[in-house]
Structure 1
Amino acid sequence: MKKLIAKTSVRDNIELSETPSYPIFRELYEKQKKAIWFPEELNIQQDALDYESLTAEEKDLFDTAVGYFCSSELLVQNVLVNSFFPMLSDPHAKMSFSTQLFMENIHSDFFEIVLQTFNMDREKMYRVAFDDPILKKKQNLIVEEIDKISYGKIDPETLQGKKDILRAILLNNIVMEGIFFYSTFAHFFALKDMGKMKNVVSGVELVLIDESLHLQNGIESILIMLDENPEITEDAQYVQDIRDVILEGTALEIEYVKHKFGDRTILGISYGELERYLKYITDRRLEELGFSAEFNITENPLRFLQKEDVKKLINFFEVSSTEYTNY
């Protein structure tokens, strides 16, 4: 019986079927293909005056967000290549995830251009996730688990191997891209709500669209693996551990925004609003994976992000990516 995660020869699965085993990945590939964009289409230089007008607190928040993404997008690429991508058996799944990998390159390129445009300190930006102790803890949560696959010999034919791979997908596509990244997006969209950094935020909107599809890649992979390997869900402790690691990621992100904001309001948002927003996101991620909500927050507390949800994540397939970047 064919399974999504398996040992395969390079000569296996080299035919695209009109009736794919996993049609969702053909659909996600097509959506990602339609959403491809290039950072050169954005006139980021036009935001130079806005950047100079930011207060010291605002500029620190903006710079930290850019620096975090500079290294984190490259980290996502490493995770994909070094862990579960080699174990994918289905050609459509490989097409979907390799398109994700390509778009991570675009994101790295975009944030690199932002860094250069505003003459940021390159060394400092790429050290952000290492020098800030809480950001380092966030990164360690991802790296330490997934490096067990990178450095070890995971056998995808064993139950433990499948559990390790599922956890890698969860940490990469759900916790990092679906919680950590979504948290930082809020800082950029707060700038847009203030009427600042319009072109940079337009690029971040496009990154958000991509990440919503990467999130779907992860969710569908996990649900398929659970369906194909029901014995995973019979391990109650493992299932609880999966829920716990999602909540651990949320706790780390809440710790970070509390450290960053304290009792201050920056870019028009406060720590309390961001904490509630993170709990709202976490409930969505838990429910998407079949868990019950933890915090029971049903409405996005950041109103400017409610608008992003509607405008970008529902309607963007109706137009081409170049229409979004035509400024």
Structure 2
Amino acid sequence: MKKLIARTSVRDNIELSETAAYPIFKELYEKQKKAIWFPEELNIQQDVLDYQELTPDEKDLFDHAVGYFCSSELLVQNVLVNSFFPMLSDPHAKMSFSTQLFMENIHSDFFEIVLQSFNMDRDKMYGIAFNDPVLKKKQNLIVEEIDKISYGKIDPDTLQGKKDVLRAILLNNIIMEGIFFYSSFAHFFALKDMGKMKNVVSGVELILIDESLHLQNGIEAILIMLEETPEIAEDEQYVQSIRDIILKGTYLEIEYVQTKFGHKTILGISSPELEKYLKYITDRRLEELGFEPEFHITENPLRFLQKEDVKKLINFFEVSSTEYTNY
């Protein structure tokens, strides 16, 4: 029986059927294709004056967000290539995830242009995720787990191999892209709410659309794996470990927010507001994967993320399912 994750030869699965084995990935490929954009279309240089006029706390928060994305977008690419992508057996799934890979290149390109436009210290920016102790813990959560299965160290045809692949998809597409990235998006949208950094935030709005699709890629892959291999869900200890690592990611992000904000209000938002927001999106991620919510927060607490213009932006690209766009 065909399965989404399997050991295959390069000569296998080199025909696109009119009837896709996994229609959702054909649909997601089409959505990602329509959403492709290029950072040169944004005149980021126009935001230089805004950047120079940020307060020290605002600039520090902005710099940390940019630096985190600089290395993390490349980390997402490495995870895709070195862990689960080679084990995808379906050509439409490969098309969907390889389009995600291309879009990550666009994101890296975008943040490179931000670095250049604002004359930021390249070494410092790329070092932020490794020199900031909390950001380093976030990176380590992803890297240490993924390195265990990189470069064919597992057999995807075994139950344990499939569990390891599922965990890799979860770490990459759900925790990193669906929690860590969404947390940083809030910092940029707070700038928009203050009327600052208009062109940079326009780029981040486009990245948010992309990440909503990447999140859906991950969720659909996990749900398909659970349907095809029900033995995974029958392992209660493993299922609990999946829930636990999602919450671990959330608490690491809360630790970062507490460290950066302390008792200050920066960009019009406070640490308690961001903590509640993180718990809100964590509940959405848990529910999307079939878990019960942990925090029971049903409404986005950040008013500027409830604005109609952002919702219209997402719907324009047909990412209208609230299952995957709650941010």
With the length of structure 1 as denominator, give the TM-score of the two structures.
0.96
Give SS of 1:150's match. Answer: coil
Distance in 2, Cα, partners of 1:153 & 1:225:
19
Match of residue 29 from structure 1 = 29
2:189 is the counterpart of 1:185: no
Q: Is the 8 A contact 1:34 1:317 kept in 2?
A: no
Match of residue 104 from structure 1 = 104
Distance in 1, Cα, partners of 2:105 & 2:72:
11
| Structure 1 gap segments, 5+ residues each | 319-327
Q: Is the 8 A contact 1:173 1:218 kept in 2?
A: yes
Q: Is the 8 A contact 2:83 2:151 kept in 1?
A: no
2:300 is the counterpart of 1:300: yes
Q: Is the 8 A contact 2:138 2:253 kept in 1?
A: yes
Give the C-alpha shift of residue 102 in structure 1. 0.1
- How many equivalent residue pairs? 318
Match of residue 211 from structure 2 = 211
The runs of at least 4 aligned residues of structure 1 exceeding 4 Å deviation read none
Give the C-alpha shift of residue 135 in structure 1. 0.3
Give the C-alpha shift of residue 310 in structure 1. 1.7
Give SS of 1:61's match. Answer: helix
Q: Is the 8 A contact 1:64 1:128 kept in 2?
A: yes
Give the C-alpha shift of residue 18 in structure 1. 1.0
* 1:162-212 Cα shifts (integer Å, max 9, x gaps): 000000000000000000000000000000000000000000000000000
User: Residue 29 and residue 152 in structure 1: after superposition, are their counterparts in 2 closer, same or farther (change >3 A)?
Assistant: closer
Give the C-alpha shift of residue 152 in structure 1. 5.8
Q: Is the 8 A contact 1:35 1:317 kept in 2?
A: no
Match of residue 199 from structure 2 = 199
> Residues 1-327 of structure 1: matches in 2 within 5 Å?
1-150=1-150, 153-307=153-307, 310-317=311-318
Letter of the 1:222 partner, please give it: I
Distance in 1, Cα, partners of 2:164 & 2:318:
34
Distance in 2, Cα, partners of 1:260 & 1:248:
19
Give the C-alpha shift of residue 132 in structure 1. 0.4
Distance in 1, Cα, partners of 2:218 & 2:242:
14
Identity of aligned residues (%): 85
Distance in 2, Cα, partners of 1:118 & 1:136:
24
Letter of the 1:197 partner, please give it: M
RMSD of aligned residue pairs (Cα, Å): 1.0
